[in-house]
Structure 1
């Protein structure tokens, strides 16, 4: 089969460190076009990957020879760019959070259905080896009934990662809409839904802007979440973890406790009720301050969905469900009430 021709829209850090190198390293893909409003940035990407540069995404969609696109823009452009690409007959992989509202996300899903094209949201936590192993242990019944959990995703802030540093769009409400909860928290709502196999029905949250003087979005959030069957737990998302990244999850079950990405060597530690401890060295999770070239597997899954014509693991519908938890958390913080999802 001929290679899938890829266009990458937005050539900032997530494209530079994840999408572009992963497409380039995949024998089933060929990067044929790149787009960014920053000419220097797009020209560098074009030169690096032998692609045609564009500074206007509409122009890329009408003039470039592409089958699929990755949308790696600031959050407020995720929906309009994705919808335009779907209407142009392209498959779409969109960065998280997929949109800034439920209505936008639904419009993306509708556009994908109307075009009969794939829409995938780039949530990579489902593909982490420790998370997949934990999912199998839970599904097998080995952990027993799940009672509770706690999860965190925090680092020193996007200025260390973003192409624009301290002037990044991540801090600007009109471009980001969502802060640490949209950047990091949505990864964890997606992971927890995947691990627990359930939907969240209620959320209570405290959301603050306390660490970043330039930010007009949240940079510290703590949420209490409850699933349909009554599993309760906490989720923390933060840009204020100044001495390293925390990307850990702990699941408390009837027969065992699962510690995920909580140990620097053993990515999964299972502590059984009978005192037995089993340690799995499965390879680490991707970090922003570590080896950024490690494969996130989202590109593999997206290409597989196109080639084999199956629904992507993180479809638009899945992305919306994970986004809705975050939007409900922000609503809870604003209203000072528990929010029903």
Structure 2
């Protein structure tokens, strides 16, 4: 039985709920948060700590699930690894690729698992989309778009660390669409070149925290990609998390529905007459990303498997993030070295 402790109960409660849903092979044995009122939300026979060092020394745990501010991801992760704990870490993996590298080296030296909670990879519709893309039904993929706008002011109070570029590592790119960027890598492989422009128009944000951004990408496959994001939109409405244009079909996700139009489901020779068909998401993907994600982590630790979103994989998501910030700073396209 894998004994798991959760650190950071503001963002970490979803992990607590997953562990309390009677998952096979693991149990929640301890939690840690600086605020007593958050600890009191966790019910049951679970040991509670307000001090992280004491948590690592005394908690009966084999693994740590961490949901803390970005600036301490590397520091707290290295401490957990030094104490021999496997690690499930909220995204982004770290503030930059150099920090990720140090974490991966420590995990390798200790023989431990690092998995990043890139939850789109474990979300049912995303897995259904990957199945369709991997089937080849869309033909050669040429164009890709993924957008996300979400007004943080509705969710996070003014003065919170997430608006401070020094504490978060940036703004909307690293704090919001790191989901999209990681998912695009998962679906289409690595990006080789990026060009980005940021805007800084939010009074709540400081220290280089961009609240709006546009990114152009060229993938190693030759496909072209585009992404738009903002964490201060007037309304939370965008073109959707995924639009894929292939030689033989198009896949899109809009208003909660995955749709596809392809040569496989259309006999018309006219683009005007071709229609999208709704895609039913298979039950094989489960119903809840948090359950899927935690189940995968437990299985990987128990059987020494490499996670789908391992630290060795996810350093490339942060390399992509680093390149986007470099492009926005220099005003030039940036080639990414892996």
- Length-normalised TM-score, structure 1: 0.88
CA distance in structure 2 between the partners assigned to 1:184 and 1:278 by the alignment: 29
Pick from 5, 20, 24: which aligns with 2:3?
5
CA distance in structure 1 between the partners assigned to 2:76 and 2:321 by the alignment: 22
Q: What is the CA-CA distance between 1:8 and the residue it aligns to?
A: 0.9
Q: What is the CA-CA distance between 1:313 and the residue it aligns to?
A: 0.8
What is the SS of the residue equivalent to 1:298? helix
Shifted more, 238-247 versus 143-152: the winner is 238-247
Q: Which position in structure 1 is the counterpart of 2:246? A: 253
Q: Which position in structure 2 is the counterpart of 1:15? A: 12
Alignment of 1:163-178 (within 5 A): 165-178=157-170
Alignment: residue pair count: 319
Cα contact 2:137–2:262 (8 A) shared by 1: no
CA distance in structure 2 between the partners assigned to 1:140 and 1:282 by the alignment: 15
Q: Are 1:56 and 2:51 matched, yes or no?
A: yes
What is the SS of the residue equivalent to 2:5? strand
Cα contact 2:4–2:27 (8 A) shared by 1: yes
CA distance in structure 2 between the partners assigned to 1:227 and 1:296 by the alignment: 31
| Residues 20-39 of structure 1: per-residue CA shift (max 9 Å, x gap) | 11111124322211112223
Q: Which position in structure 2 is the counterpart of 1:287? A: none
CA distance in structure 1 between the partners assigned to 2:102 and 2:44 by the alignment: 32
Larger radius of gyration: 2
Q: Are 1:329 and 2:329 matched, yes or no?
A: no
Q: CA RMSD in A?
A: 1.9
Q: What is the CA-CA distance between 1:276 and the residue it aligns to?
A: 4.7
Q: Are 1:161 and 2:155 matched, yes or no?
A: yes
Alignment of 1:140-159 (within 5 A): 140-157=135-152, 159=153
Q: What is the CA-CA distance between 1:218 and the residue it aligns to?
A: 1.4
Cα contact 1:31–1:50 (8 A) shared by 2: no
CA distance in structure 2 between the partners assigned to 1:294 and 1:152 by the alignment: 20
Q: Which runs of 5+ in 2 are unaligned?
A: 269-273, 283-287
Cα contact 1:131–1:195 (8 A) shared by 2: no
CA distance in structure 2 between the partners assigned to 1:84 and 1:5 by the alignment: 18
Q: Which runs of 5+ in 1 are unaligned?
A: 284-292
Q: Which position in structure 2 is the counterpart of 1:205? A: 196
